[in-house]
């Protein structure tokens, strides 16, 4: 009689969240935190750079946008690569890449060099983020996966806020280049730590038919394993697909979910970048003084720290509907922001509410995508969602510029931006209708077996 393979996902579900899991969580959290640090820091050094190099704001446009294009390139290339050669190797290389590029920024002498290095930095950041999500999700118990993955995402707003605080302290003493020195040395140190401390995804090892000894070596760090176990499965039926990750996410069983996730992520970033880049200007144009416009705009990203609440809800209720509702409520809050522009107290409340809703819904798409795709296509699915969605950030910036050119007032601009939230919510409702969320369904469907009725 053939030995029944050891079910690794069931094993992970039964284990307490112990030192091994905390190590993986902390390392992935630090990767995301450094992403947030880089995103926040570049805006804070811009005024000093303008003054030192005597350049205009429009001349800085390519510098600011080059990182976004790098993020797209990094996400689209690193996902399929991680599904082929492993999550750990891609993470180590990508963290080292954006660390080295950031450190090199401290040596630039003109805008051309700065633009190129910001693009390279973006490649590293774009490759690191989705693979951190993928690796983290593959070690989480299914019943806590969304909450833990979203908690990891809280590193982004922490890093963004930290970037501003440290830049305010570093720049007056050592100049704007010191921010990039810190932003380069820290990732390089983290990359070395990843080599020593970060395990490869055990689900990935199983999917690639790695040696029994290498799989056992990882599992032993979590809990003792019976000596008799010589075969493993990742919770799926044994049959596997020989399709590439790209082919799999566009296969008939996944294509609707793929496209709806892309639409939702794209629309969320339309909102985020439209408001991050333009809210201070829009508030000033509405008659508000510079100080209040800046302080109120700074409230918008703070709600990202509550992403763990969305993850907790996703683990207990239908995750597609939880995130869809978050986007719809974001749209309502954004519309309300446009209606209360002349009322300072109400405006503060609504900006904070809108930011909290968006910045809890948007990170939740990472855990939603990680749960949707099977191991063989998970890194590709998450990375391509994030990569294609990054174009939403570019569109969001140009959208507000076009609306202001057409002389729309404050309320009308926010009404238009709110539509993106409704579209994101509708996309996830469609995903739920076409592919109802069930535990481990993608793994079962991959093997051609229908899941049991829930």
- Burial degree of 168 (CB within 10 A; 0-12, 13-18, 19+): exposed
Predicted confidence at residue 290, as pLDDT, reads 63
Residue from 278, 422, 415, 421 nearest 335 by CA: 415
Indicate yes or no: pTM above 0.85: no
- Of residues 260, 267, 298, the one with CA closest to residue 362: 267
pLDDT value for 427: 96
**Nearest Cα residue to 375 out of 240, 285, 282, 255:** 240
Q: Per DSSP, which regions of 189-269 are E strands?
A: 232-233
Query: What does the alpha-carbon distance between residue 42 and residue 277 come to, in Å, rounded to a whole number?
Result: 13
- Which carries the bigger pLDDT value, residue 41 or residue 415? 415
- Residue 454 confidence (pLDDT): 29
43-52, 321-330, 335-344, 383-392: which range is least confident on average? 43-52
Predicted pLDDT of residue 424: 97
Q: Kindly tell me the number of DSSP H helices and DSSP E strands found in the chain.
A: 20, 2
What does the pLDDT read at residue 444?
Answer: 38
d(CA 95, CA 40): 17
**Interval 189-218: pLDDT, tens:** 999 999 999 998 888 888 787 788 888 888
Token pair recorded at residue 277: 């880049």
Q: How far apart are CA 297 and CA 283, in angstroms?
A: 8
Residue 309, pLDDT above cutoff 80: no
Model confidence at 415: pLDDT above 60: yes
pLDDT-based confidence at 258, cuts 50/70/90? very high
* Mean predicted confidence (pLDDT) in 276-298: 75
CA angle 24, 28, 32 (to 5 degrees): 165
Would you place residue 453 in the very low, low, confident or very high pLDDT band (cuts 50, 70, 90)? very low
Q: Where are the alpha helices (DSSP H) in 254-343?
A: 255-285, 290-298, 307-316, 319-339
Q: What's residue 233's pLDDT?
A: 62
Residue 396 has pLDDT above 60, yes or no: yes
pLDDT at 121: 92
Q: Which pLDDT does position 40 carry in this prediction?
A: 67
Considering the chain, what percentage of its residues have pLDDT values greater than 90? 29
pLDDT given for residue 234 in this prediction: 60
* Domains of the chain from N-terminus onward: 6-219 (1.20.1250.20), 245-446 (1.20.1250.20)
Residue 48's pLDDT band (cuts 50, 70, 90): confident
């Amino acid at each position: 009689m053939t030995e029944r393979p050891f079910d690794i996902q069931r094993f992970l579900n039964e284990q307490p969240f112990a030192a091994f899991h905390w190590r993986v969580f902390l390392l992935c959290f630090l990767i995301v935190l450094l992403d947030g640090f880089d995103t926040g820091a570049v805006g804070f050094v811009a005024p000093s750079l303008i003054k030192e190099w005597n350049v205009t704001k429009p001349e800085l446009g390519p510098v600011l946008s080059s990182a976004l294009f790098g993020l797209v390139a990094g996400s689209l290339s690193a996902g399929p690569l991680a599904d082929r050669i492993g999550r750990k190797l891609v993470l180590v290389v990508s963290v080292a890449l954006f660390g080295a590029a950031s450190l090199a920024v401290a040596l630039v002498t003109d805008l051309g060099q700065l633009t190129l290095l910001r693009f390279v930095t973006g490649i590293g950041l774009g490759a690191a983020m989705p693979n951190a999500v993928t690796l983290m999700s593959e070690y989480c118990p299914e019943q806590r996966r969304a909450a833990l993955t979203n908690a990891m995402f809280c590193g982004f707003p922490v890093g963004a806020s930290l970037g501003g605080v440290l830049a305010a302290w570093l720049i007056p003493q050592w100049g704007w280049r010191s921010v990039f020195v810190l932003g380069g040395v820290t990732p390089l140190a983290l990359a070395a730590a990843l080599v020593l401390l970060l395990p490869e995804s055990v689900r990935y090892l199983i999917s690639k038919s790695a040696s029994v000894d290498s799989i056992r070596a990882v599992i032993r760090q979590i809990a003792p394993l019976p000596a008799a176990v010589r075969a493993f499965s990742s919770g799926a039926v044994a049959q596997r697909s020989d399709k590439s990750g790209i082919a799999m996410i566009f296969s008939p069983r996944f294509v609707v979910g793929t496209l709806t996730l892309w639409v939702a992520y794209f629309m969320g970033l339309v909102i985020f970048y439209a408001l991050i880049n333009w809210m201070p200007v829009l508030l000033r144009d509405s008659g508000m003084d510079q100080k209040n416009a800046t302080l109120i705009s700074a409230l918008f990203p703070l709600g990202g720290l509550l992403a763990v609440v969305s993850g907790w809800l996703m683990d207990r209720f239908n995750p597609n509907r939880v995130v869809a509702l978050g986007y719809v409520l974001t749209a309502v809050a954004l519309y309300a922001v446009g209606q209360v522009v002349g009322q300072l107290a109400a405006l503060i409340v609504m900006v904070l509410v809108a930011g909290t809703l968006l910045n809890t819904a948007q990170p939740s798409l990472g855990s939603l995508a990680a749960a949707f795709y099977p191991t063989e296509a998970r890194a590709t699915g998450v990375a391509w969602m994030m990569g294609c969605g990054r174009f939403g950030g570019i569109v969001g910036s140009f959208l507000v510029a076009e609306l202001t050119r057409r002389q729309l007032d404050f309320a009308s601009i926010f009404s238009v931006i709110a539509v993106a939230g409704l579209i994101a919510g509708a996309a996830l409702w469609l995903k739920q209708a076409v592919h109802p969320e069930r535990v481990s369904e993608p793994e079962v469907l991959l093997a051609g077996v229908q899941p049991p009725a829930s």
